[in-house]
Amino acid sequence: MGWATYNEKTFERIARMGVEESGLGDPDGRVGKRFKVMGILRDILRQKSVGVIEELPEKGIAKYAKPAGLITSLIPTTNPELTPPGVGLFALKCRDTVIFSPHPRSKNTTLEMVRVMRVVLEREGVNPDVFQCVEKPSIPLSQYLMANCDLVQATGGKDMVKSAYSSGVPSLGVGAGNSTMVFDETTDIEQAARNTRVSKTSDFGSGCSADGNLVVEDSIYDRFLAQIQKEGGYLVNADEKAKLQAALWDAEGHRTSDTVAISAQRIAARAGFEIPADRKFIIVPETNIGKEFLFSSEKLCVVLSIFRYKGFDQALKMVEAIYDVGGKGHSCGIYSHDDDHIHRLAMMAPVSRIMVRQPQSKANAGAFDNGMPMTSSLGCGTWGGNITSENIHLKHYMNTTWVSRPIKEDKPSEREIFGEFYGTGPV
């Protein structure tokens, strides 16, 4: 199944079909996501999912894996070619069954990828109905499926995730993004600018992991700003910034759907100005952070904001303020060779994953040069209203039975446990 969905001919065909059907995303960028299928397969081939999966002799514990059961998988319109094989591989490895519920805007693409998966199941002697796909998706039908399965896997917008959590069934959801990247005085400017372009332009910035806010140290700000323009960024002036805001958000501050996941040229045209054909993303200088300053919120397109700071303490305050606007629980990153700066950011940032010197949207859901579990779903912890802050991977698709045998008693003395409070009088 991994090869049938990953091979370049099949994945490219279905990925381009998804962009054409939905009108969202970049065909070349979408095709580039296929490495995740290989990565997920790599991970699960190295893990146990049936019978005894872990033994802790010193604890007398043996853990047995059992299927989670019937999964309802809600498929986002921006990932109809990747999410089905991603979920499908995890589920098949854990002996689950899945009903895929497509987004109406990309239902035919989802149906086609599930068809490929069903062909492989049947060819390999497995009942193809292990995987099924809704042919006529609707909100009532999705709600019915969610209420009558064992586990809901919801990757998509906040309304989808909220619906999953309201189903009364255990749900694996994701949170909103607003990825913020910190660049300190030790930044390798050329590497950081290149990675920013790679991350931001992937599938026209439609992913929640795409860089949204750049927080740059004053001493390198001008050089970095010049370098990201060399990488294809277009720097807006004050008039263009005002027009851009009016195009990206409506009067109530909600993102306009017709500016999500489209090219920089199309965004500029919607806003009423033109940019050169070779520009890949749009840079907005910003000094203010807050819910009323919309450029400090999630963009879901090839627009990013850039902020200037002096001293790392201010950078941390700015990161905190940005996540108060939105994106808590998701991810951030830092371009630094200062371990103390990395540690301080990790101690305070209300996010589930921090990428160090890596292209955020290509790294935080797993890459071949980092140790993050490969996935297409990112848990955001209690910050983002999720049950887990991990990358959703194999262990989340199984139940586990703990078998406990007797061990030598492990009971410290009262004095050892209560320390200085042992023997003091009652309160």
What count of other Cβ atoms lies within 10 Å of the Cβ of residue 21?
Answer: 17
Strands (E), 267-341: 281-285, 303-309, 329-335
* Residue 319: HSE in the Cβ half-sphere, 13 Å Cα cutoff: 30
208, 301, 332, 380: the catalytic one is: 208
Q: How far apart are the first and last CA of the chain?
A: 64
- The type of residue at 221 is Y
Tokens found for residue 276: 């050169």
What count of other Cβ atoms lies within 10 Å of the Cβ of residue 183?
Answer: 25
Residues in the chain: 427
Beta bridge partners of 284: 305
Could you give the CA distance from residue 372 to residue 393 in angstroms, rounded to a whole number? Answer: 10
Could you give the CA distance from residue 199 to residue 205 in angstroms, rounded to a whole number? Answer: 8
- The type of residue at 277 is A
Tokens found for residue 34: 């296929």
Query: Are the beta carbons of 256 and 248 closer than 8 angstroms?
Result: yes
Query: Are the beta carbons of 181 and 330 closer than 8 angstroms?
Result: no
Sign of CA dihedral 389, 390, 393, 397: negative
Could you give the CA distance from residue 341 to residue 339 in angstroms, rounded to a whole number? Answer: 5
Q: What is the DSSP string of 214-270?
A: EEEEHHHHHHHHHHHHHTTEEE--HHHHHHHHHHHB-TTSPBPGGGTT--HHHHHHH
Q: What is the DSSP string of 101-138?
A: E--GGGHHHHHHHHHHHHHHHHHTTS-GGGEEE-SS--
Please give the DSSP secondary-structure letter assigned to residue 368. T
Could you give the CA distance from residue 67 to residue 92 in angstroms, rounded to a whole number? Answer: 9
Q: Is 208 a catalytic residue?
A: yes
Could you give the CA distance from residue 286 to residue 306 in angstroms, rounded to a whole number? Answer: 6
Q: Which residues are catalytic?
A: 208
